[in-house]
Amino acid sequence: MLQQGLFVADVCFYYGDQAPNHSSSEARSRQIKPDVEPTLRPGYEYDMINAEVILTRMGTKDGRIVLPDGMSYELLVLPNQEDMDWDVLQKLEKLIKAGATIVGRKPTRSNGLRDYPHRDEKVERLAEKIWGPCDGKEVKERSYGKGKIIWGRKLRDILQERGIGPDFSFVSRHENTSLNYIHRRTANEDIYFIINHTMRTEDVDCTFRVTGKQPELWLTDDASVRRQVVYDSVPGGTRMRLRLPPAGTVFVVFREPAASEHIVSVSRNGRRIYPAEPEQASGETDKLQVAPWQSRRYVYQKSPERENPCLEVLPATRRSFNLLAWKDGTYTLCTRRGKTKSVDVKDVPEPYEITGPWEVRFPEGWGAPKSKVFEKLISWPEDPHKDVKHFSGTATDHKEFTLPANLAGRDLHLVLDLGEVREIADVWLNGHHLGILWKPSFRVDISKAVKPGKNTLKIELTNLWRNRLIGDAKLPKEQRKTNTNIPISGKAPLLKSGLIGPVRLLAAKKVKL
C-alpha cells in the first residue's frame, strides 16, 4: 500500500550543504532542526532535498516545483543560513523566473573557499537582484519573473492563503491526541495511512483533502475492506469519524466516486453524535463508531474506552446498511439530500460476565499439573504452585457456559471479550475456530458460533519465555528446563501470563435499513 503511487507533500526543504548535517535522520522522526521552519506541521507533509536534486532534477510547471518522477511541491524552502552555493543560487533564479515560489532568507556569500572572494561577490549581487527590498521584516514578499520570493512568513499562512488547506486534520475529544499520517496518490486513488501515537483509544473526526470520492477502510490486521456510509463534504475535503485503538493504524482509501446518497449526520435521543457537537466534553463515550474496534494496547486498562460506542453503521449492499446499536435509544440518521430515518432501539442486553470455575490444562514435561481448576481467572504467577507460577508456553483454558436467554435473539450481534490476555489467545467455540487474537482488545465475533443453551469454550493461551527463565535461574543447571545465553536473575519480577479477564459477552441490536 505504501509503495504505490507518489508521496503527497506540499513543501520541499533544501537542507543546505553544511557539515555536520543531521536533517535526514531528524526528518524521519519529524523533529526537524531549528533552522528549518517548524511552522508547517501538523496537517502538511514535506520532503527534503540536497543540491544535486536542485541542480539536476528540479524544474517548474504551472507554478509548481516538479521532479521527473511526477513529484511536485507548492513551495521550496531554503535553509536559515547566510551562505549558499553559487551554482544552486543560479538554478534557483531560473526556477523563480519560471514560476516557482521559494521561501527563505537572502544569502550574502558563497559556501566554501572555491574562487574566493569572487564567488562571494557573485552570490551577493545575484541575491540582491532576486530578493531586492525583501528583508523578511518590512518587506516579506517580492515577485520575480513569473514566481515569487518570500522571507519571514509562516509556511501554513502562505499555503492557506493559496487555498491549500491541511492534507489531513482532525478534531479530538481528548487532550494531547497525537496522530500521524502518510498520504500517497496514484492515478486513481488517494491512500492515507493513519497512525495513533497514543496508548489510548481515540475518537476523532478526520478531514482528508480529497473531494468527490467515497472513503473505504482497509484494515491492517486482516486485510479486509469496509466501504463507509457515514461521511460528509466540508470545506477542505471529506470528513469522517475514525475510532483508532491504542497504537492502532488503518488505511483510508479514496478510489470510487462518492455515493449520490449517504449519511452525513447521526443523532441519539435528539443529541448529535456525528459530527460531534462543539460542546461535547473530552472523554465523552457516546459516539458513533465508523471504524472497527481494534487495539494495540500492550498494558490493559479497565476504562470506559474499552466499551463499545453507542452505534456502528456498516454497509450491507450498495443501497442498504446495517445498524449495530450497543445502547438503547432513538437513532436519527440524516442523508446528504436531507432525508431522515429514525429507529427506536430497546432492550439492548447488558454485558454478561462468564465467571469461574475455569479448567486450565498444561502440557507435560514442564512440571505444571496436567490439569488445574481455577475458581476465578488469575495471572499464572499468582498461583502458589511453583511450576504454574513459572510456566512458559501454551496452556488451554476450558469452560462450559450457558447462554442467557436474553442473548439468544436472532437480531443480536454477539462479541466475546476476553479482557486482559498475556500474550496470545487462540479461540474455539463449540468446535468452531474463531481465530488467533494477538493484540488488545482481544474481542471476536461469535454470532455464528454461539448457540442457545450450553456452549463449550476453548482458549489456547501462549505467554512469553521470561517466567520460565526466571524460575530456571533459581535451579541448578542440571534441573533447568531451558538454556539461554541471556543473563537473567531469579529475583526478577514475573510477567503477567494467561487469561486474566474479565471474560464477557457483549451484545448489540442489529437493524437493517
12 pLDDT higher than 70: yes
Q: What is the pLDDT of residues 29-59, one digit of tens each?
A: 444 443 445 568 789 999 999 999 999 999 9
Instruction: Please write the tens of the pLDDT for every residue from 468-497.
Output: 999 999 999 999 999 999 899 999 999 999
pLDDT at residue number 160: 94
Instruction: Give residue 246's pLDDT.
Output: 77
Distance separating alpha carbons of residues 254 and 162, to the nearest angstrom: 24
CA distance 455 to 382: 28
Q: Is residue 102 very low, low, confident or very high in pLDDT (cuts 50, 70, 90)?
A: very high
Q: What is the pLDDT of residues 249-302, one digit of tens each?
A: 999 999 999 988 899 999 999 999 899 776 443 333 333 433 332 333 333 333
What's residue 294's pLDDT? Answer: 30
Q: Comparing C-alpha atoms, which of 274, 337, 347 is closest to residue 311?
A: 274
Strand boundaries in 209-248, DSSP class E: 213-218, 225-227, 232-234, 237-244
Over pLDDT 90: what percentage of the chain?
75
Give the chain's domains with CATH numbers.
6-161 (3.40.50), 168-345 (2.60.40.1180), 352-507 (2.60.120.260)
Give 37's contacts (C-beta < 8 A, 6+ positions apart): 13, 77, 80, 103, 154, 155
The CA distances from residue 230 to 66, 123, 203, 276, 322, in Å, are 36, 56, 15, 13, 12
Q: Is residue 411 a contact partner of residue 510, using CB atoms and an 8 Å limit?
A: yes
Q: What is the mean pLDDT of residues 175-184?
A: 91
pLDDT of amino acid 336 = 92
Phi, psi dihedrals of residue 153, rounded to the nearest 5°:
-120, 150
